[in-house]
Amino acid sequence: MNDQYMDVKPSNIKPPYAGAKAVVLLSGGMDSTTLLYNVLSNGYKAHALGFDYGQRHLKELAAAQKIATKARTPFKLISLASVHDNILSHAGSSQTNESVRVPHGRYDDESMKQTVVPNRNMMMLSIATSYAIVLKADIVAYAAHHGDHAIYPDCRHEFMESIHATMRICDWHPVSLYAPFREMRKENIAHHGKALGVPFDLTWSCYEGNDIHCGRCGTCVERKEAFVLSDVPDPTEYAA
């Protein structure tokens, strides 16, 4: 197992050669946007990938498209409509099942478990790896961070190490998982993003699909807190 990409700090990843490519999972939130800028600042040619898996609203994907355009990065949107209709819509997740309410409160509360989309990250990383193989890209960049561990099983260390190992051997062209934020708190990511010039005003976090961030759902609470704790100015308009 090649651990070079699992062990790096966010600022010291070096592409193995000029023109090396990276596939970046871009959701349109502040973490994956910061990751895109991190990858670009390190000298990689980035290819961003977004996923429509039937999430409650598509505001985050519209944000991802705008961010990719601003960062002059090609963006592809993969529709998993059939996976949603046949599988995910039957899960008890507030993100893919309209009859389940979005929970409000803190991100690490037990109640947030109902926002888990079963095996979402393994599916997205598998498809991103396929894209990396076709592009001959060396890494798939993925912005899971420390705050995700408690709720999301597919953001845990052991999951990331295991899927990294699988990605290295699923094809004759090895692909590495680059997950530099996995030990960082969201406020550190905000701080890192500010230094990279990330357009936070273009990013979208809210689980609700209103015109502006609701300010009450788990990701809104987490977003607000990250800006406050990092002392980075928050450009977001919140309803509450």
Q: Which of residues 139-198 bind its own copies (CB under 8 A)?
A: 153-154, 156, 158-159, 162-163, 165-167, 169-172
At how many degrees (to 10) do helices 218-230 and 186-196 cross?
60
Candidate segments 60-68, 85-93, 203-211, 232-240, binder of its own copies by CB under 8 A: 85-93
Which H helix or E strand runs over 26?
none
Amino acid (1-letter code) at residue 3: D
Cβ 167 to its own copies, closest distance in Å? 8
- With CB under 8 A as the contact rule, the residue among 7, 86, 101, 240 that binds its own copies is 86
φ and ψ at residue 195, rounded to 5 degrees: -65, -30
Q: How many residues bind its own copies (CB under 8 A)?
A: 42
Report H helices in 71-112: 81-86
Candidate segments 57-65, 74-82, 187-195, 215-223, binder of its own copies by CB under 8 A: 74-82
Candidate segments 3-11, 36-44, 119-127, 223-231, binder of its own copies by CB under 8 A: 119-127
- List CB contacts of 164: < 8 A, sequence separation 6 or more: 1, 5, 6, 176, 177, 179
Cβ 190 to its own copies, closest distance in Å? 28
- With CB under 8 A as the contact rule, the residue among 130, 150, 209, 238 that binds its own copies is 130
Residue 164: which of 150, 172, 149, 174 has the closest Cα? 174
**Contact status: 114 vs its own copies (CB under 8 A):** no
**Contact status: 58 vs its own copies (CB under 8 A):** no
Ordered strands of the 75-79 beta sheet: 75-79, 45-52, 21-25, 139-141, 176-178
Candidate segments 8-16, 28-36, 59-67, 71-79, binder of its own copies by CB under 8 A: 71-79
The sign one gets for the Cα dihedral 137, 139, 143, 149 is positive
Residue 186: burial class (beta carbons within 10 Å; 0-12, 13-18, 19+): buried
**Contact status: 41 vs its own copies (CB under 8 A):** no
Q: Which is nearer to its own copies, 34 or 115 (CB)?
A: 115
Q: Which residues bind its own copies (CB under 8 A)?
A: 76-83, 86-88, 90-91, 116, 118-123, 125-127, 129-131, 133-134, 153-154, 156, 158-159, 162-163, 165-167, 169-172
